[in-house]
Amino acid sequence: MRRGAWHQCGDRSQLLVAEQLEQGAGVGVILSPRDLARPKALEYAARYRALGAETLLDHQFYVPDFTNPKLNTYAISALRAGISTLNRVSDADLVEFENQLRIDNQELGATAVLAPAVVYEAGRMDIMQLNSRLFGAAKRVADQLRVPTYATIVLGRSVTASDVTMASVLSNATALNSDGWYFAFEFEEERLPSSRDSVQRCCSAGLTLACTGKPVLHAYAGPLGLLSFGFGATGIGLGHNQKLWRFTRDHWQSPAGGQGGGGDAPPRFFSSALWGTIIYPDETVQLDAQLRAQVLTPSPFCTAALTGRAWPRWDSGKHLVNVLASTFAQMAAVQNPRANAQAAIDRLSGAVTIHARIEQAGLFLADSTNVYQDNWRLAMQDVLNGRSGDYDYLDLLR
């Protein structure tokens, strides 16, 4: 698994991802069948590979009976069903599942096979058994293709509610003979997670996976990916839309569910100094020149905003992805989780300071864009302090 930022496709982002790769931003792409029909997936996968990116296909079995027209262009979707039905799938149907999994990954040139998996829930042995069976099928396919197998571990809210339930599920999941982990954590419904305890558990779960000595790809991370290298991750999944900043199963529970929205909302300017967004131009224009220079992080996609001109909302998404990918690339160069954790803490401390200066100037930013930075900082510090021995172990693995 390449170390760095991975583009999490979704919500019309295929061309955006190609543009980012042309700018040198990102090391890999995770294709989304929910948002991209198979013929187009083949086309874009070839384009991404030509731009030097690794490609992965996430078949998105999180809610296994969900389907939509684009998912239906993949033959493997014929086997989508409820958990109880899937647990009774015949050996013949499982062979067909493997065949389609092999064909899709081979034709898309995937650099590893992501094992389809249902969201883990507390006390659900049936889900654990199903995920184990699906993993076995993926492992056989990957071995045939001579590529790694990454187990998909998506921790649902019933799992993440306590350390005890989380430890039990992780113990079961890490028993899989996997070459790496495709990891996502379901938070409460917020634009970005703000709970110190929840973020601490997410980092702790990621650290547990990293301590297996196998690479971790933190899926649907978005801005929270600032902490990912700090808990030992190798890859960070990011996307332009806030629905791609955290895992939510809502997208796989309603065929009509979308990732768009926002109507005529003004663009949000992502600032690495704030580690958050500020509304352009309504809020940025109220900053004094010194603060504005600190806050307006440059990228190839924000020239209009830096010069006070009209700035399309779509370009603000491109800007966000580029700034995140660039920041993560800088962090990726330091292959020391403890140092990465401290770098994240330092950046968040700086963000808290600048947010305080903005409030002192009488400007209170919308979107609750300043409510999570300090809790993320504290959560990362909690993990550093509480699991020092695990960081020592990761040092030995390097």
Q: Is the pLDDT of residue 253 over 80?
A: no
Q: What angle do CA 257, 262, 267 make, to 5 degrees?
A: 140
pLDDT recorded at residue 256: 45
- The 10s digit of each residue's pLDDT in 127-151 is 999 999 999 999 999 999 999 999 9
Residue 242: band (very low, low, confident or very high) from pLDDT cuts 50, 70, 90: confident
Determine the CATH number of domain 4-252: 3.20.20.105
- The 10s digit of each residue's pLDDT in 294-326 is 999 999 999 999 999 999 999 999 999 999 999
- DSSP assignment of 131-147: HHHHHHHHHHHHHHHT-
Average pLDDT of the chain to the nearest whole number: 94
Left, alpha or beta for 111 (phi > 0: left; psi -120 to 50: alpha)? alpha
pLDDT recorded at residue 260: 44
Mean pLDDT of 107-111: 97
- The 10s digit of each residue's pLDDT in 366-389 is 999 999 999 999 999 999 999 999
Q: Compute the distance between CA of residue 316 and CA of residue 105 in angstroms, rounded to an integer.
A: 32
- The 10s digit of each residue's pLDDT in 25-46 is 999 999 999 999 999 999 999 9
Residue 255: band (very low, low, confident or very high) from pLDDT cuts 50, 70, 90: low
**Which residue ranges does the chain devote to CATH 3.20.20.105?**
4-252
Q: Compute the distance between CA of residue 316 and CA of residue 152 in angstroms, rounded to an integer.
A: 31
Question: Which of 323, 304, 296, 250 lies closest to 20, judged by CA?
Answer: 323
pLDDT recorded at residue 261: 45
pLDDT recorded at residue 223: 97
Residue 111: band (very low, low, confident or very high) from pLDDT cuts 50, 70, 90: very high
Q: Where are the beta strands (DSSP E) in the chain?
A: 4-8, 28-31, 54-57, 113-114, 149-155, 180-185, 216-218, 235-238, 268-271, 276-279
Mean pLDDT of 63-68: 92
Q: Compute the distance between CA of residue 135 and CA of residue 329 in angstroms, rounded to an integer.
A: 31
Q: Is the pLDDT of residue 254 over 70?
A: no
pLDDT recorded at residue 1: 96
pTM check: above 0.85: yes
